[in-house]
Structure 1
Amino acid sequence: MAINRQSVEEIVEAIGGKENISTATHCVTRLRLVLHDESKVDTKALEDNELVKGSFSANGQFQVVIGQGTVDKVYKIFAEITEIESASKQDVKNAAASKQNFLQRGVKTLADIFIPILPAIVTAGLLLGINNILTGPDIFFSDPLVEVYPQWADLASIINLIANTAFVFLPGLIGWSAAKQFGGSPLLGIVLGLILVHPDLLNAWTYGQAEEIPTWNLFGLEIEKIGYQGQVLPVLVSAYILAKIETFLNKRIPDSIQMLIVAPVALLVTGFLAFTLIGPVTFWIANLLTDGLIGLFNFAPAIGGLVYGALYAPLVITGMHHTFLAVDLQLIGSTGSTFLWPMLALSNIAQGAAALAMILISRNEKTKGLAGTSAVSAFLGVTEPALFGVNLRFKFPFFAAIIGSAIAGLVITVSGVEAASIGVGGVPGFLSIFKEYWGAFFTGMAIVLVVPFVLTFLYGKVRKVSE
């Protein structure tokens, strides 16, 4: 696709000119900018630009949605026009962080840790869903498919092995990403995470059924040999301590002997602390939080489902939705399932349904095209194009989607719908849902397809949207 240079110049002008740009980079679909004064942005001019599919401000960054592939070409011309040096994504994040409060920085840190490992987790969840279809009873036949067709059994076994790996070694993935985020060595972070799930340790998932807990005896101190499979908090805190010890030693140990001292000391100290203090304390805190959340939803499931279903899309706008990825993973690690993630999947579909209705009521061809492509994207789990390109722009589709998502959240929470894993947060999300809850989940899916679509269509017709 050839890029019209004038259109890029108009983007620069719409964001307040090159003098208003502090730092700039891009990701797969968006220009990511830190601006001196966001009040100078002409949102209407941006929306009218043929290259722009939407724009929004989040976590100190002003982001312009361009589209996959096209954004690379646009950024190249953008950099030439503005004469701005190409910044790394970390440079932009650091510049944006200076404008954030403590809570925003905390949310950003969690997001930066979990976003890099999200593809592995989503892929694992999707494959686990496929395995569940192959091995679950009462889906195609009364017996599992692998029993009716035994030749499929080994294929299901391989799929299960590949899918389970990301969850079995989740602390290794988190350790890598967290150590990198906290300024330490990603490699040491991986090793730390794998230490916490070493085969010599009692598997955390069998802790409750164990007749005898193995222990170490260190100078009279008994330490339980327990692994932390599926746990989030222990490895997060341990990775932070590891990174700080490593940074401290790197500043004080001569370069010539760093390899012999820094990594061994950092891992030994952190590993000892992880098994004696960090692990037991954070494991207790994680279980306390999990039990509290479960108790809250058990006490008032209708209210919990209604509120979370309504709030998830607004959380996406603020970036705080990434915090709940850690909560979902902790729930899965502690209880083997999550009741929050199914509402996420339906919230995404709701935003897609609202965007889809805009095809019928908008008179602007660009809006129609954007509504169609962004709706498909939302149905497959990526809501940003629908949210920022269509629904928030017109406002009423966004609120229609929230209403549908809230009603569906109430229905599936009261029905006790749970997911075995995190998967694709859209229509394929049913693959991650336990088979016995498919009926209730599909009811919720029908609600988020129909309610937002109908409300958006009717309200849009009354208002006679012309854009």
Structure 2
Amino acid sequence: MNDREIAKQLLPLLGGKENIVSATHCATRLRIVLSDDQKANKSEIENIDGVKGAFLSSGQFQIIFGTGAVNKVYAAFAKEADLDNEDRKTDHQDAIKQKMNPIARFAKTLSNIFVPIIPAIVASGLLMGLLGMLRTFQWVAPDSSLIVLLDMFSSAAFIILPILIGVSAAKEFGANAYLGAVIGGIMTHPALLNAWAQGTVEPDYLNFLGFDIAMIGYQGTVIPVLLAVYFMSKVEKGLRKVVPNAIDLIVTPFVTVIVTGFFALIILGPLGNFVGDGITTILNFVYNYGGFFAGLLFGGTYSLIVITGVHHSFHAIEAGLIASIGVNYLLPIWSMANIAQGGAGLAVFFKTKRAKTKEIALPSALSAFLGITEPIIFGVNLRYRRPFIGALIGGALGGAYVVFTNVVANAYGLTGIPMVAIVSPLGTANLINYLVGLAIALVGAFVATWILGFKEEE
């Protein structure tokens, strides 16, 4: 069946053209926002040739086609649904948020802010690993120019993290991205004591209008700049409503920066640090004292959180951990849960007798090993239910092991096999225990799914 025929079959099964609000696609899935989700005929859609699964998640009806195929189907679908018509064009992200509950909407917002920053964080993590290896194995002299340069390259993203977040958050909040960068720059200004290098040094205090402002920067922090840029977006939008167009370019940026700057250093920055430190303290308490059982719980329940879409908000927490303690101990646990979903899907592949299920299960399981779990969760494991339970068991076992052996990462954004890149820089033992954890999660989920079995769909 060609792409146009697939698109023609999809349209009535999704409730017709009038039920399509917006559509886009990712690497493997066609993502559609519907006016009425109940009008989508999931079972009939999954019977179309080329469709490897369909599910409703995070305000979108998602249809799995696979890499390469989805691009062609989307082009044909957009034409059939008349999505290029100016009268029908809708911002996809806004359409998604309108369909979500407040918690899911909040998680989606955080995801939109932090996902674009992932490449910078991963690159910094790898550079830190390279720097650590050069120092540990003494491949070059400690005062080598290479060491100095790599130290600059690896720490830059974390030092200017508030600026990166400022740009991304301003875009998400509908404000000027460059004003967001300015606010991030104010919070990391050289006149402020570098938070990373503070140690036992006491910061100076500046008295302003009766307020004692601690002259300490917010390098590497997350929550302070999020609060500041959100506040900035409200100030900017409010001003644009009342400032005449003739002087908007002069007045709005000036007032926005000066008002937000004062509030950021006097109130929002310290408040954000307090909240961030509180979250880190609670997580550290659970991690340190819950130990094995914390890994068992987090590893076993993470996939349940993935179904809701709230897991996207964890990037902010992980970035906060890296800024506070220098490592990310949550990501290895999430990775165990993802690998376990792949292990359960692999068991389904070997156990099922249906060619259609095999066709979906194997590539979806492989994508889970690379950190992309939605196809295997919604296309296979959750559909048959018991494989999903088997995956929860595998994730719990793997999570317990990586917590027990203190496996950590130096970045966020990668799970599964690719996560080796941000685990290995922290030592051979860290890498070996991570790989052992992967094996435990995969085998545990495979065996649990095989024992539990599942009822085949006709």
Give TM-score, length-normalised by structure 1: 0.88
> Does 114-123 or 310-319 show the bigger shift?
114-123
Change (3 A) 1:159 1:11: farther
Is contact 2:409–2:422 with CA below 8 Å preserved after alignment? yes
Change (3 A) 1:389 1:185: same
TM-superposed CA distance for 1:121, in Å, is 2.5
TM-superposed CA distance for 1:308, in Å, is 0.9
SS at match of 2:336: helix
TM-superposed CA distance for 1:283, in Å, is 0.7
SS at match of 1:200: coil
Is contact 1:126–1:423 with CA below 8 Å preserved after alignment? no
Kindly provide the amino acid, as one letter, of the partner of residue 452 in structure 1.
Answer: A
TM-superposed CA distance for 1:188, in Å, is 0.9
Q: How does 1:25-424 map to 2 (within 5 A)?
A: 25-85=24-84, 91-132=91-132, 134-135=133-134, 137=136, 144=137, 147-148=138-139, 161-210=152-201, 212-218=202-208, 221-424=211-414
Kindly provide the amino acid, as one letter, of the partner of residue 52 in structure 1.
Answer: V
Change (3 A) 1:278 1:374: same
Is contact 2:52–2:359 with CA below 8 Å preserved after alignment? no
SS at match of 1:418: coil
Kindly provide the amino acid, as one letter, of the partner of residue 43 in structure 1.
Answer: K
Is contact 1:55–1:63 with CA below 8 Å preserved after alignment? yes
TM-superposed CA distance for 1:404, in Å, is 0.7
Using the aligned pairs only, state the percent identity: 41
Kindly provide the amino acid, as one letter, of the partner of residue 422 in structure 2.
Answer: S
Deviation string 1:343-375 (CA, Å, 9 cap, x unpaired) is: 112222222222233332233444334333222
Change (3 A) 1:232 1:453: same
| C-alpha distance in structure 2 between counterparts of 1:207 and 1:19, whole Å | 58
Change (3 A) 1:387 1:122: farther
TM-superposed CA distance for 1:339, in Å, is 1.7
> Does 108-117 or 175-184 show the bigger shift?
108-117
Change (3 A) 1:426 1:368: same
Tell me which residue corresponds to 1:425.
Answer: 415
Deviation string 1:362-408 (CA, Å, 9 cap, x unpaired) is: 33444334333222322222222222233223333222121111111
Tell me which residue corresponds to 1:448.
Answer: 441
Q: What's the C-alpha RMSD, in Å, of the aligned pairs?
A: 2.8
Segments of 5+ residues of structure 1 without an aligned counterpart are 138-143
Deviation string 1:60-100 (CA, Å, 9 cap, x unpaired) is: 22122223443232122213333344689962333333333
TM-superposed CA distance for 1:43, in Å, is 1.9
| C-alpha distance in structure 2 between counterparts of 1:90 and 1:79, whole Å | 13
Is contact 2:318–2:328 with CA below 8 Å preserved after alignment? yes
TM-superposed CA distance for 1:191, in Å, is 1.8
Change (3 A) 1:49 1:243: same
> Does 285-294 or 412-421 show the bigger shift?
412-421
| C-alpha distance in structure 1 between counterparts of 2:397 and 2:56, whole Å | 28
| C-alpha distance in structure 2 between counterparts of 1:178 and 1:128, whole Å | 26
Kindly provide the amino acid, as one letter, of the partner of residue 418 in structure 1.
Answer: V
TM-superposed CA distance for 1:237, in Å, is 0.5
Is contact 1:126–1:424 with CA below 8 Å preserved after alignment? no
- Residue correspondences, number: 453
TM-superposed CA distance for 1:20, in Å, is 3.2
TM-superposed CA distance for 1:214, in Å, is 2.3
Deviation string 1:294-348 (CA, Å, 9 cap, x unpaired) is: 1123232233211111121121121111121111111111111222111112222
Segments of 5+ residues of structure 2 without an aligned counterpart are none
Tell me which residue corresponds to 1:10.
Answer: 9
TM-superposed CA distance for 1:443, in Å, is 2.5
Change (3 A) 1:381 1:155: farther
TM-superposed CA distance for 1:464, in Å, is 7.5
Is contact 2:360–2:379 with CA below 8 Å preserved after alignment? yes
SS at match of 1:449: helix
SS at match of 1:263: helix
Is contact 2:55–2:62 with CA below 8 Å preserved after alignment? yes
Is contact 2:339–2:441 with CA below 8 Å preserved after alignment? yes
Change (3 A) 1:466 1:317: closer
Kindly provide the amino acid, as one letter, of the partner of residue 311 in structure 1.
Answer: T
Give TM-score, length-normalised by structure 2: 0.89
| C-alpha distance in structure 2 between counterparts of 1:249 and 1:453, whole Å | 58
Change (3 A) 1:84 1:442: closer
TM-superposed CA distance for 1:245, in Å, is 1.1
TM-superposed CA distance for 1:154, in Å, is 6.3
Is contact 2:384–2:456 with CA below 8 Å preserved after alignment? no
Kindly provide the amino acid, as one letter, of the partner of residue 180 in structure 2.
Answer: G
Is contact 1:356–1:453 with CA below 8 Å preserved after alignment? yes
